[in-house]
Homo-oligomer: A and B are copies of this chain.
Amino acid sequence: MRYSRQRELIHEVIKATNTHPTANWIYKQARKKLANISLGTVYRNLDQLTDAGMINVITEGNMSRYDWNVIPHQHLRCSVCGKMSDIEIPDGEIKEKIKQNHQFDVEKVEMIFVGTCSDHN
């Protein structure tokens, strides 16, 4: 994967937010710095950055969301405002139980807790 200004910019955009943005949001931000970057380029680089382990992708729902935080963690999604926030859940014990009870080797854990965030009391 050789250097490109576009990929660096896309990575910077993702690193600058905690909102778990969509590809289109990243595209719009990137265009502010590089007026004619294309949406295809954004998608291609998001895939490459994901494959390289430099970002994470969250595939729940009808649109993928991207995350600069590659340390394993899980998410709370508010069904009222749509905000997605981080939560740490230790999953070593769960993985071990799944291995024992189902003979299933867990590589990746995806938990989404849908509910109402503290902004709506």
Seen from chain A, the residues whose Cβ lies within 8 Å of a Cβ on chain B are 59-62, 76, 78-79, 85, 87, 89, 94-95, 98, 102-118, 121
Contacts and interface: CB of A to CB of B under 8 A. Distances in A.
Given A59-B60, A59-B62, A62-B59, A98 B116 contact: no
B104 A118 contact: yes
Given A79-B107, A94-B113, 7 more contacts: A76-B104, A87-B98, A87-B102, A104-B116, A109-B111, A110-B110, A110-B112
- The complex is assembled from copies of this chain, and their number is 2
A70 to B, nearest CB: 16
A102 B118 contact: yes
A103 B94 CA distance: 24
B118 A113 contact: no
Contacts of A114: 106-110
Question: Which 9 A-B residue pairs are closest in the complex by CB-CB distance?
Answer: A103-B118, A106-B115, A108-B114, A107-B115, A105-B116, A110-B112, A111-B111, A105-B115, A106-B113
